[in-house]
Structure 1
Amino acid sequence: MVETADNLEEEMFLWGLFSLVLWRRSLAMNPIQRPEMYIIGAQPLCSQLTGLSQGQRKLCQLYQDHMVYIGEGAKTGIKECQYQFRQRRWNCSTVDNTSVFGRVMQIGSRETAFTYAISAAGVVNAISRACREGELSTCGCSRAARPRDLPRDWLWGGCGDNVNYGYRFAREFVDAREREKNYPRGSTEHARTLMNLQNNEAGRMAVYNLANVACKCHGVSGSCSLKTCWLQLADFRRVGEFLKEKYDSAAAMRIGRRGKLELVNNRFNPPTAEDLAYIDPSPDYCLRNESTGSLGTQGRLCNKTSEGMDGCELMCCGRGYDQFKTYKHERCHCKFHWCCYVKCKRCTSLVDQFVCK
């Protein structure tokens, strides 16, 4: 494991984008206090974002209206990461409250691979949707070609998500940092750069490939005599689930003699552009360890009856667990009333819960 200033800067940059969402909300409440933020080419916004590389700073100055949506994309990626790993030892959390993912980003592990992929995917998702909604000056609705298998009598129109633009812009902006690095070919640092680029692309490809055709019926009394179709992003939960599967099957790589990543085990197929790759083994995340970014699993809820990663045996790393009772509140005895609402009662029950020692 090699800790570098570049990895720390990447983490600070991601946190800066996340904070930009909160900054935007406060600015919306008091817009007159900072009028210079609305001037195209103004410097304050780009200068306030920590961790920007030289290329990213230039792109920030050229596309300032994009930056808030990049921040929203990063936030979406973080939330999805926390959902996908909510039942794992590492639950996408950090011991450092001043950052997003913490020191785990300094290890070229499966977890880092996933964070790069889901963050890049979040940027593509946010930019593509912002184009459709007319929020950006350099793009609009999708101009994707009509699918060949679309029935002839269906119209190809509407205002679709511009996933082509979102993919291209995310590639230029997110990868700019990695492409500016000039580590010796074949070095450990060079291997980490190649790993980051691989996982960035996998995240972008997930959003791009999962986008699908959506259609709406037109006609008298719902006859659907005419259909209008357009390109639509998949729900981001589906993207998260797809990348979670890629995390489970991620390829273990190492730097080869030619300065390229190669498989540690040649019995497996080499990763495609859609696959995740890692170069370092993961910590077990059982115990709190600030040097690796592990919070440990002490105090985590576990499932006594599960044999999976959320089960008490695996979640608690063999340390055992404590049992306690707690009240659970939920809706119950729901009835449909004409017309048109559902009325439920609120039931309380005493249930057993288990937490790791």
Structure 2
Amino acid sequence: MLYSSKRKDLLTFNMAAVQLWITYAILLCTPTVQSLKWLSLASIPSSLSESQMEGIEDLCSRLTGLERRQKKVCRQHISMMSGVMNGANMSIIECQNQFKDRRWNCSMVDEHTIFGDIVNKGTREAAYIHAITAAGVSFAVTKGCSRGELSGCGCDVSKVGEMNGFTWAGCSDNALYGTAFSKKFTDARERVKNTNGRSLMNLHNNQAGREVVLKNMKTECKCHGVSGSCEVKTCWRSLPSFKQVGQILKQSFDGATEVKSKKKSQVGRMQLIPSSRKLKPFEVDDLVYLKDSPDFCEKNSTLGSLGTHGRECNKTSKNIDGCDLMCCGRGYRTIIEHVTDRCNCKFYWCCFVKCEECIKRVVRNICL
């Protein structure tokens, strides 16, 4: 009885903690006009179990960061919401990693709007954010299914039997399932109003992100046999690394196509076309944008720009991370720091590493 009582108290404590997190998230998800309000779900611990989320009365309706159709998807697939939270988190981190040397470095403006109003401006930055977040949900849900962390899905069961020279075995990542769920969830808001150029742009870039995940799936194999021979070879399909997804989308960001919206016919639906005949037609996995980006030199919270004052720059680089471009012509100051670091490390048998402490001179250039 004592064990049962302690366990009940622990469950009560855990549920109270979950309730606290959900309340916090609801406060963060204050109504805004931006199309990616659901990214505020990144504030909820993605480690919450399905039973914990189901224990919150009408959780999906209380998350005001979700659009009406997204709340419906949430109720229908409550187990997938931890995948959505994971996808939101990894997308924010990867975006910041890819743009750390740019004027716009994907910084979180605040916990309410995450990236600020830049997601609504039809720029290249908005294109990348939509693509990486849609890819993030696709990736996280697919991985969660493969690891058995999400109920109602699993490995790709179509990858069975023998092929030319190998046998399908192991757990192939079911990227088609993850992609389908991502489309259903991330496109929900835009499908309601896909008659304007910006919604069409967002839908296209969402799909571009998912296409990068699908097109970069890889086949991994393992040999089985005596002394390293490959008498039997088993293979399975795996997702690319999310870093690779972020890099490919970064290349698409740099080569994005400027577009405009146009009616297919007098009574037809709107479609996106290149803004100039000089521009090449865009593919399904290309990023597209409607408006030029601001320069991001000065702080503008509504645009999601923190400015470049105080940013570190590369004195010798002629690229965007160089001091001339990063500092927007304002100049920079050089500071010298002395930091203590481990050095001259040696391994001693058995089993420890012994290092010396060295003083290292570090030169940093900071934008004015």
Range into which the TM-score falls when normalised by the shorter chain = 0.7 to 0.9
> Deviation of residue 43 (structure 1)?
4.8
Per-residue Cα deviation, 1:181-213 (whole angstroms, up to 9, x for no partner):
26xx4xxxx100000001000100111111101
Structure number with the bigger relative contact order (C-alpha 8 A, sep ≥ 6) is: 1
Relative to structure 2, which stretch is displaced further, 254-263 or 190-199? Answer: 254-263
Question: 1:77 and 1:47 mapped to 2: Cα distance?
Answer: 24
Counterparts in 2 of 1:1-357, with a 5 A limit?
8-15=33-40, 17-20=41-44, 22=45, 24-25=46-47, 37-38=53-54, 43-145=57-159, 151-152=164-165, 154-181=166-193, 185=195, 190-258=196-264, 259-335=270-346, 344-357=355-368
Q: Classify the secondary structure of the residue corresponding to 2:317.
A: coil
Unaligned residue ranges in structure 2 (runs of 5+) = 1-29, 265-269
Q: Classify the secondary structure of the residue corresponding to 1:291.
A: helix
Residues 328, 253 of structure 1: CA spacing in aligned structure 2 closer, same or farther, 3 A cutoff? farther
> Deviation of residue 106 (structure 1)?
2.1
Residues 241, 222 of structure 1: CA spacing in aligned structure 2 closer, same or farther, 3 A cutoff? same
Residues 337, 233 of structure 1: CA spacing in aligned structure 2 closer, same or farther, 3 A cutoff? farther
> Deviation of residue 344 (structure 1)?
4.8
Aligned residue type for 2:272: L
Per-residue Cα deviation, 1:62-93 (whole angstroms, up to 9, x for no partner):
10000111110111010000000000000001
Residues 254, 341 of structure 1: CA spacing in aligned structure 2 closer, same or farther, 3 A cutoff? farther
Unaligned residue ranges in structure 1 (runs of 5+) = none
Contact 2:31 2:64 in 1 (8 A): no
Contact 1:163 1:233 in 2 (8 A): yes
Residues 156, 36 of structure 1: CA spacing in aligned structure 2 closer, same or farther, 3 A cutoff? closer
> Deviation of residue 94 (structure 1)?
3.7
Question: 1:101 and 1:323 mapped to 2: Cα distance?
Answer: 30
Question: 2:103 and 2:259 mapped to 1: Cα distance?
Answer: 23
Instruction: Provide the aligned C-alpha RMSD in A.
Output: 2.6
Contact 2:54 2:78 in 1 (8 A): no
Relative to structure 2, which stretch is displaced further, 74-83 or 98-107? Answer: 98-107
Q: Classify the secondary structure of the residue corresponding to 1:161.
A: coil
Question: 1:230 and 1:344 mapped to 2: Cα distance?
Answer: 43
Contact 2:160 2:167 in 1 (8 A): no
Residues 221, 328 of structure 1: CA spacing in aligned structure 2 closer, same or farther, 3 A cutoff? farther
> Deviation of residue 268 (structure 1)?
2.1
> Deviation of residue 215 (structure 1)?
1.4
Contact 2:116 2:302 in 1 (8 A): no
Question: 1:14 and 1:72 mapped to 2: Cα distance?
Answer: 10
Per-residue Cα deviation, 1:293-317 (whole angstroms, up to 9, x for no partner):
2110000000101111111000000
Aligned residue type for 2:83: Y
Q: Classify the secondary structure of the residue corresponding to 2:318.
A: coil
